[in-house]
Amino acid sequence: MNTNFKMWSLYPFISRDIALWVPAEVSSSKVHKVIKDNAGDLVVRGPELFDEFKKDDKVSYAFRIIFQSYDRTLTDGEVNEQMDKVKQAVEKEGWTVR
């Protein structure tokens, strides 16, 4: 059995949450895919769904995304830039960020 070990980063991580309203027929896995596809290469964990509730004909999903680099400390600006891309992508789908 061949086991690969990947060293953890010595640099701090930054977590961000995003919550959004979507139509009731939209699955959390579809939202997960859109977020993941647009969050960039600095994501080391997530997006992880941590909250879900329904109201009227909409569903609110909340996801946590963990950003981290293996060669430097990330800045808020770098992470905010990636989160802006995520926000634009979900809004392009017609979903509302809360």
Q: What is the CATH number of the domain that holds 69?
A: 3.30.70.380
Block residue for tokens 């963990």: 66
For 40-54, letters b (16+ CB in 10 Å) and e give bebbeebbeeeeeee
Q: Is the peptide bond before 47 cis (omega within 30 degrees of 0)?
A: yes
Residue 1 has pLDDT above 70, yes or no: no
- Residue ranges making up the domain that contains 18: 14-97
Domain-embedded: residue 2: no
- Dig out the tokens for 52 from the structure: 């879900």
Q: Answer whether residue 89 is part of any domain.
A: yes
The number of domains in the chain is 1
Q: Is residue 5 part of a domain?
A: no
Confidence of residue 3 (pLDDT cuts 50, 70, 90): confident
Average pLDDT of the residues in 79-89: 96
Matching residue, tokens 């991580």: 13
Q: Could you report the per-residue pLDDT of 9-62, keeping only the tens digit for each?
A: 889 999 999 999 999 999 999 999 999 999 999 999 999 999 999 999 999 999
Tell me if 61 is assigned to some domain. yes
Evaluate whether residue 75 is within a structural domain: yes
Query: Strands, DSSP E only, in 1-98?
Result: 14-23, 43-55, 58-67, 96-97
pTM of the model: 0.89
Residue 3 covered by a domain: no
